[in-house]
Amino acid sequence: MIPPMNNQYLNCWKNSSLALIISFSDHFAVTMTIVNNAGQAVPAFIMLLVTYQIGSLLISAIMNYLNSRVTSVKI
């Protein structure tokens, strides 16, 4: 039960990140404001990528921990 639930959580996380496409103009405006004020575009995009990666790894780690607890056989 845990691996399919893990897939569902990761799909939910992935699909919510795809909602970025819908609000692309808002995110682009914020990024352009950061670029105009700070003069650096790369850190703004890296921050977005790192946030997504941390969320994915966190969900995966929690679900792997739950899976190991459920599937461990104690003799």
Q: What is the pLDDT of residues 1-15, one digit of tens each?
A: 677 887 888 888 777
Q: What is the pLDDT of residues 14-64, one digit of tens each?
A: 777 666 666 666 767 777 787 788 777 788 778 777 877 888 888 888 888
State the Cα–Cα distance between residues 74 and 52, nearest whole angstrom.
36
Q: What residue has token string 């899976």?
A: 67
Domain boundaries, the chain: 2-71
0.75 surpassed by pTM: no
Q: Contact, 54 vs 45, CB < 8 A?
A: no
Q: What residue has token string 């969900």?
A: 59
